[in-house]
Structures are given as structure tokens and as C-alpha cells.
């Protein structure tokens, strides 16, 4: 078996196990409601996690996504409410802004050779600060377009609801999967994370790829911000504090190595679902304090990182090739 795929399989097994445990206690796990609810509830986290997957695969990190979501939500709210821009126009402006922001971070990381941790940390404070500059309080959005969107969903027989935002998340994930695995850009991202120096010597366009990765992450964070605003129908400068850490957690639990170069986009979906299942279980239980979510996720993350360590420090198995002579 290819050892690269092992973490992904481990993740899927853990997900199924957790789900079974949930199902055993709460029969509702047997309906589509639980999964669809998780998809809706985690839609903005999931979209941000797709971007984070690219960043981590490239060997980097992006701490700015939570702040970008908050900024986007308040930015759109104000454009729609105070300036009177149509929501679609507001979204377009926000996405362009997000692309520029991410591109700038990527350029600083590449050309000034400053570690991504520092650059995106600065980006995090900057975006959060700007969000507060726009408004210190939550801004509700009342626009017919928003009501239309929340009215768009498909109901399954057992009352599970496939909402617009959940669908959007799934589409983003699929597109992310195709980009990661089947485009030259995606393969360059893997190469960059695998060995940056060799990638350069092999002719991988390092500048373009690095800038592209952070641009993609910020654009997806902005999209996550738009989803957040559609989902909560408001903009809030204090929204999604620390969401980047949840996104990183989902990516790592999904089997992507923090050191870069190894991982699967599909794993990120499973990672997000696992976070959702744990939360749902603890919500259903009622008796358990919601902080248990954090504790379980912490333990799980620890187990997965330990697993990765074992796998990556394991010496390459010298499978001896047969030389035809």
C-alpha cells in the first residue's frame, strides 16, 4: 500500500467510527439531517479549509483567514446597507480585495523571504483591525437577495436540508480537489512543499506558485466570509476569531502533513466532517459541557500528529526494483 494514502484512510476510519458511536446513542444520526446540518454549519470553515489545504501542501501556513472572514462580512454588510450596492456587486468587490490581499502576502513571503507565519500573522491583525475600523458593532443585513438565498434549499424525505451554502462548500471542495490533483498549478504546489530547492532547480515557477497559493487562500477566505454573511445575515467584526486554527486542525486531521508536500483534498472534507460530528454529538448530549468539543478535538489532533510523525520519520522502505538486464 502506498504510505501516502495511509493517513487519509486512517481519517476515514476515525470518521466512520465516530459516526457509528453517535448513531448508536442518537438514532437521528441515521438521517440525512445530521450530515447536511454539519455541511451547512461548517460551510464557511470548510471553504477556508480548502484554501488552507493548498497553503499547508505548499509548506506554508495562513493565519489570516479568520480575520478575513470577519472583515468580509462587515465590508459586505456596509456596502449593501450604507452604500446601497447590490450584494453580488459587493461580493465581487470583496473577492477582488481578497485576491489583492492574498497576492500581496504571497509576494512578501516570496520576494522578501519572510516566513509565512509572520506575514500572515501581520495579515491577521491588519484584517481584524480594518474590520473594527469599519464598524465596532454587528451590522444586520436586510436585503431581498439574502432572503432569496436562504430560501434556496432542497429538502430530503427525512427533512434533511441541503442549503445553498452547503452546496457551495461541496462545489468549492470539488473544484479544489481538481486543482490540487489535476492541474499543473496544483502539482507545483505539491512539489514546492516537497522540496523547495529541488522544485526551483526542476523549473517550477516558485514565485507564481507561492503568490498563487496565498491568493487562493485569501480568495477562499473571502468567499467563506460571504458565506458567513449569507448564513448569519449580518456582518460582525468579532466573528470567527481563531477560525484559522480550526481550519488547520481540519486539514491536519484530514491527513495532510504539516511539513508540506503530502496530502489529499478529500481528507480535508473528512477532517471538517469529523469536527462537525464531534460537535453534534456533544450538542445532542445536552449534559456535556460544550468545551468537551475542544478537548476531544485536541486529543484527536494530537493522535493524528503523532501518527504523521511516525509515518514521516519511518525510514523509506527500500523496495528493491528489479533491474532487467
> Which 8-state DSSP code applies to residue 29?
G
> Residue 88 or residue 201: which is nearer to other proteins going by CB?
201
Which CA distances in Å does 56 have to 62, 197, 264? 8, 17, 11
Residue with cell 466573528: 239
Distance CA 317, CA 296 (A): 33
Report helix, strand or coil for 224: helix
> Residue 120 or residue 256: which is nearer to other proteins going by CB?
256
Q: Which of 130, 128, 121 is nearest to 62 (CA)?
A: 121
> Residue 102 or residue 193: which is nearer to other proteins going by CB?
193
Minimum Å gap between C-beta 3 and other proteins is: 8
> Residue 2 or residue 113: which is nearer to other proteins going by CB?
2
Distance CA 37, CA 81 (A): 29
Q: Give the H/E segment covering residue 153.
A: strand 153-155
Q: How far apart are the first and last CA of the chain?
A: 27
Minimum Å gap between C-beta 314 and other proteins is: 11
Minimum Å gap between C-beta 315 and other proteins is: 8
Minimum Å gap between C-beta 187 and other proteins is: 6
Minimum Å gap between C-beta 202 and other proteins is: 5
Residues forming the site for other proteins (CB under 8 A): 2-4, 178, 181-184, 187-188, 190-191, 193-195, 197-206, 261-262, 315-325
> Residue 88 or residue 317: which is nearer to other proteins going by CB?
317
> Residue 118 or residue 178: which is nearer to other proteins going by CB?
178
> Residue 113 or residue 315: which is nearer to other proteins going by CB?
315
Helices (H), 135-242: 144-151, 164-182, 184-194, 196-201, 206-232
> Residue 21 or residue 178: which is nearer to other proteins going by CB?
178
DSSP string of 14-59, one letter each residue = HHHHHHHHHHHH-GGGGSHHHHHHHHHHTHHHHHHHHHHHHHHHTT
Which CA distances in Å does 76 have to 37, 40, 86, 125, 252? 25, 20, 10, 19, 31
Minimum Å gap between C-beta 195 and other proteins is: 5
Q: Which of 229, 189, 238, 185 is nearest to 72 (CA)?
A: 229
Cell numbers standing for residue 166: 452547503
Minimum Å gap between C-beta 191 and other proteins is: 5
Minimum Å gap between C-beta 311 and other proteins is: 12
Cβ neighbours for 242, distance < 8 A, ≥ 6 positions apart? 66
Amino acid at each position: 500500500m502506498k504510505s501516502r494514502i495511509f493517513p487519509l484512510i486512517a481519517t476515514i476510519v476515525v470518521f466512520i467510527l465516530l459516526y457509528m458511536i453517535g448513531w448508536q446513542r442518537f438514532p437521528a444520526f441515521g438521517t440525512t439531517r445530521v450530515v447536511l446540518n454539519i455541511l451547512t454549519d461548517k460551510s464557511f470553515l470548510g471553504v477556508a479549509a480548502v484554501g488552507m489545504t493548498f497553503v499547508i501542501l505548499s509548506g506554508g501556513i495562513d493565519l489570516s483567514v479568520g480575520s478575513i472572514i470577519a472583515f468580509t462580512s462587515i465590508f459586505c454588510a456596509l456596502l449593501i446597507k450604507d452604500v446601497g450596492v447590490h450584494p453580488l456587486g459587493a461580493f465581487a468587490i470583496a473577492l477582488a480585495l481578497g485576491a489583492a490581499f492574498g497576492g500581496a502576502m504571497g509576494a512578501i513571503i516570496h520576494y522578501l523571504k519572510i516566513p509565512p507565519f509572520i506575514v500572515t500573522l501581520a495579515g491577521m491583525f491588519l484584517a481584524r483591525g480594518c474590520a473594527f475600523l469599519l464598524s465596532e458593532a454587528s451590522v444586520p443585513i436586510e436585503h431581498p437577495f439574502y432572503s432569496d438565498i436562504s430560501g434556496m434549499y432542497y429538502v430530503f424525505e427525512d427533512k434533511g436540508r441541503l442549503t445553498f451554502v452547503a452546496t457551495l462548500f461541496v462545489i468549492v471542495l470539488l473544484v479544489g480537489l481538481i486543482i490540487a490533483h489535476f492541474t499543473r498549478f496544483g502539482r507545483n504546489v505539491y512539489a514546492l512543499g516537497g522540496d523547495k530547492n529541488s522544485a526551483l532547480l526542476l523549473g517550477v515557477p516558485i514565485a507564481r506558485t507561492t503568490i498563487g497559493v496565498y491568493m487562493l487562500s485569501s480568495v477562499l477566505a473571502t468567499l467563506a466570509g460571504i458565506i458567513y454573511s449569507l448564513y448569519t445575515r449580518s456582518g460582525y467584526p468579532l466573528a470567527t476569531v481563531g477560525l484559522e486554527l480550526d481550519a488547520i486542525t481540519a486539514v491536519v486531521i484530514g491527513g495532510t502533513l504539516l511539513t508540506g508536500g503530502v496530502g489529499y483534498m478529500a481528507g480535508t472534507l473528512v477532517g471538517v466532517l469529523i469536527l462537525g460530528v464531534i460537535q453534534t454529538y456533544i450538542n445532542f448530549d445536552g449534559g456535556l459541557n460544550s468545551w468537551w468539543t475542544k478537548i476531544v478535538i485536541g486529543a484527536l489532533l494530537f493522535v493524528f500528529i503523532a501518527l504523521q510523525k511516525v509515518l514521516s520519520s519511518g525510514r523509506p522502505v527500500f523496495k528493491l526494483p528489479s533491474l532487467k538486464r
